[in-house]
Structure 1
Amino acid sequence: MKSLSVAAAFVASVQAGLRFGCSSLTIQRLDPVVQPGSDPSSHLHHIVGGNQFNATMTGDVGARGSCTTCQMAEDFSNYWTAVMYFKHPTNGSYHRVPVVNNAALASGTTGGITVYYTPYDLSRDNLKQQPITVFKPGFRMTVGSPTTNATQAAKHIGLSYNCLTTLINRGPEMRDFPTKPCPAGIFVTHHFPACWDGKNLDSPDHQSHMYNTITLDGFTNAPPCPSSHPVRVPQVTYETVWDTTKFSSLWKSGDPNPFVWSFEGTSGYGTHADYMFGWKGDALQRAMNKSECFYDGCGSITKQDMSVANKCTVKDMVGENIDGWVSHLPGMSS
């Protein structure tokens, strides 16, 4: 993905799509897409969005939602990623890395994730643009996989890391964890495919019903969708800022990267994310139809103050210690 300064230049010249913040909803070992019904799931996730989140989610969760941690008040979708941990280089214990606000989010956003829905990936396709069809109730998808290695990572376009100098100075993109302490934390991007087969709300691997026509990382022009996946949907992207700064003094010069995802892993190639659609009615379609507006949907979507969004919660359905120094990652026996 382009640096913030480059992306801003595209915004000024083109204007299309949505960008908004969602405060953290919960951090639990649940995954209703990959491990539906499992309480707990195999590893810990950081979740934002609507209060219908639970171990088993089916049907129209947007219609059932009563609150959301997202600025867009009609968005009861759920967005989640694995959780980042610091592994102590001396004793091997783990400490959860907190999430902090991304730059330019609404005042009062608490941690959470920045969410994008872009019909043109910030700049319109050079070829004829396909109309945008939004997701249907019950739709879900994932991007990336915890089992990905360096060779396979080339297939997962749009998954990247930035070593932040400041919240607005991201520096170059990387496919793996940074190799030295980052002055303002680690910035992680998850960019989902934007071509749908038009039939299946999910698939056995949670990815085959989608197709990515982008061959370069990040917000770049996407060629037309193929006949196998002919329906162009909004391109969904997450941005998460992990506050690794409090662990910088423990990362000695020359030592290998000490950060791991909550599924352990020996590298950052296994970064992945899940999406569960949950917008109310035609709210998202209205925003996508406003092709000359960026960030706010041209007033087509109701916004809420983040002080209201931050009151939205779900109960702790797993009940385990995820804070402080722990001898092993949640769900991992050693």
Structure 2
Amino acid sequence: MKWLSLALVLAGPSEAALRFGCSTVSIQRLDPLVEPGKIPSAHLHQIVGGNAFNATMVGDISEKATCTTCTFSEDFSNYWTAVMFFRHTNGSYKRVPLMQNTALPNGINGGMTIYYTQQDFTSNGNQKITAFKPGFRMTVGSPTYSAAPSSSGNPGLRFVCLDNKATRFPELPTFPTKPCKGGIMTVHHFPACWDGKNLDSPDHQSHMYNTVREAFTPAGPCPASHPVRMPQLAYETLWDTTQFNDMWPTDGSQPFVLSFGDHVGYGTHADYVFGWKGDSLQRAMDSSCMFTACENGRPLKSQSVADMNKCSVKSTVHENIDGWLTSLPGQPSMSM
């Protein structure tokens, strides 16, 4: 309970909100949280962040990485999600390319937009935020999750049919059912209430409590079982589905599928391993900066897009993930 006690003693207002880009560090079948040590893991992931990413990750990741694909050079965390594929009517698959968020600097190599917010998209808030600790990890969502057609799915895990890269609504619990003019965005909001004791749990979720409802709306209060408010972590991933719009099935069926075989979208999920250097994230959460105002040493060190793109991880799993494939990597062929 040491961290919990310290957090309560130091309770005070915080105003920081971070939004930054991370280019792709690797796309391969590894999953050090759900399938540690397994090479290859069951399905394909797209990963951003530090170059310590591998099949087995333990301890303080910030001490093992030497570079990061993220804007903030003190952030060696790893963030990853499943990959999106297009399924042609002839039964073949092609990986959907990533594209950068319009709010970020030009030239970022795919990747994701990462948020550490306190209240919502436009306001920092005024409560004490306790940064994640070395060794902390968590997941949100599950590839085995399914729901009835009328279900709203997992709160905070959504798809957006983009008119352009600035589109944010409406948020959908499943894949869009029509071609999207500007591509598709997947959104993953993580829980932000911690039990104050465990850096992980057997299901990688029970040590956290989810108060998220939809989008960047203010989260509800933390319960007594999970009393420590941590940053509201969220990922936005933009998929360039536009090249497939003229291949949309004539029967109107939805042609996109996640890399574990989900063609509805309820199973969308994301993983996180904390890896900020020293007290850098806590310093940011204790500051009054917001988005780009947190860069250039105010209070976080930042790096150029060129330096972000230089960082990479060598593939441990050698398989074809590009071009037209007869099946999803690691998955059996699917019938329509």
Q: Tell me if TM exceeds 0.5.
A: yes
**CA distance in structure 1 between the aligned counterparts of 2:113 and 2:252, rounded to whole angstroms:** 31
**CA distance in structure 2 between the aligned counterparts of 1:163 and 1:266, rounded to whole angstroms:** 16
Give the CA RMSD over aligned residues: 1.8
Q: Is the 8 A contact 2:23 2:48 kept in 1?
A: yes
Aligned to 2:183: 185
**CA distance in structure 1 between the aligned counterparts of 2:313 and 2:329, rounded to whole angstroms:** 19
**CA distance in structure 2 between the aligned counterparts of 1:307 and 1:124, rounded to whole angstroms:** 30
Aligned to 1:68: 68
Structure 1 SS opposite 2:132: coil
One-letter code of the match for 1:198?
G
One-letter code of the match for 2:82?
A
Q: How far did 1:295 drift?
A: 3.9
Aligned to 2:194: 196
Q: Is the 8 A contact 1:85 1:261 kept in 2?
A: yes
**CA distance in structure 2 between the aligned counterparts of 1:139 and 1:36, rounded to whole angstroms:** 15
**CA distance in structure 2 between the aligned counterparts of 1:187 and 1:223, rounded to whole angstroms:** 25
Q: Is the 8 A contact 2:52 2:65 kept in 1?
A: yes
Query: Does 1:23 find its partner at 2:49?
Result: no
Aligned to 1:300: 299
Query: Does 1:176 find its partner at 2:174?
Result: yes
**CA distance in structure 2 between the aligned counterparts of 1:321 and 1:294, rounded to whole angstroms:** 37
Aligned to 1:100: 99
Instruction: Give CA deviations for 1:83-141 in whole Å, capped at 9, x if unaligned.
Output: 0000112x11111001001111123211110000012233366xxx5411111111110
Structure 2 SS opposite 1:310: helix
Residue in structure 1 matching 2:284, options 287, 297, 300: 287
Q: How far did 1:297 drift?
A: 2.2
Q: Is the 8 A contact 1:117 1:235 kept in 2?
A: yes
One-letter code of the match for 2:68?
T
Aligned to 1:3: none
Q: Is the 8 A contact 1:164 1:182 kept in 2?
A: yes
Instruction: Give CA deviations for 1:263-290 in whole Å, capped at 9, x if unaligned.
Output: 0023111110000100000110111011
The range that moved more, 219-228 or 167-176, is: 167-176
**Where in structure 1 do 4 or more consecutive aligned residues deviate above 4 Å?**
151-155
Q: How far did 1:172 drift?
A: 1.4
Structure 2 SS opposite 1:247: helix
Matched ranges for 1:9-88 at <5 A? 16-88=16-88
TM-score normalised per structure 1: 0.91
Q: How far did 1:253 drift?
A: 4.6
Q: Is the 8 A contact 2:147 2:153 kept in 1?
A: no
Unaligned runs of 5+ in 1: 1-13
Aligned to 2:7: none
One-letter code of the match for 1:134?
A
Q: Indicate how the Cα distance of structure 1 residues 36 and 296 shifts in structure 2: closer, same or farther if over 3 A, else same.
A: farther
Q: Indicate how the Cα distance of structure 1 residues 59 and 296 shifts in structure 2: closer, same or farther if over 3 A, else same.
A: farther
Q: How far did 1:333 drift?
A: 3.1
Residue in structure 1 matching 2:263, options 244, 266, 271: 266
**CA distance in structure 2 between the aligned counterparts of 1:15 and 1:103, rounded to whole angstroms:** 24
Q: Is the 8 A contact 2:24 2:46 kept in 1?
A: yes
Q: Is the 8 A contact 2:129 2:229 kept in 1?
A: yes
Q: Is the 8 A contact 2:256 2:263 kept in 1?
A: no
One-letter code of the match for 2:60?
D
Unaligned runs of 5+ in 2: 1-13
**CA distance in structure 2 between the aligned counterparts of 1:146 and 1:322, rounded to whole angstroms:** 20
Q: Give the percent of matched residue pairs that are identical in Structure 1 and Structure 2.
A: 60
The range that moved more, 279-288 or 102-111, is: 102-111
TM-score normalised per structure 2: 0.90
The range that moved more, 184-193 or 294-303, is: 294-303
Structure 2 SS opposite 1:246: helix
Aligned to 1:247: 244
Q: Is the 8 A contact 1:165 1:171 kept in 2?
A: no
**CA distance in structure 1 between the aligned counterparts of 2:223 and 2:168, rounded to whole angstroms:** 33
Structure 1 SS opposite 2:285: helix
Structure 1 SS opposite 2:310: coil
Query: Does 1:150 find its partner at 2:147?
Result: yes
Aligned to 1:11: none
Instruction: Give CA deviations for 1:200-224 in whole Å, capped at 9, x if unaligned.
Output: 111111111100123x211111122
Matched ranges for 1:161-172 at <5 A? 161-172=159-170
* Paired residues, number: 316
Q: Is the 8 A contact 1:288 1:297 kept in 2?
A: no
Q: Is the 8 A contact 2:153 2:173 kept in 1?
A: no
Structure 1 SS opposite 2:70: coil
Q: Is the 8 A contact 1:130 1:224 kept in 2?
A: no
**CA distance in structure 1 between the aligned counterparts of 2:201 and 2:293, rounded to whole angstroms:** 32
One-letter code of the match for 1:324?
G
Q: Is the 8 A contact 1:118 1:236 kept in 2?
A: yes
Residue in structure 1 matching 2:275, options 275, 278, 284: 278
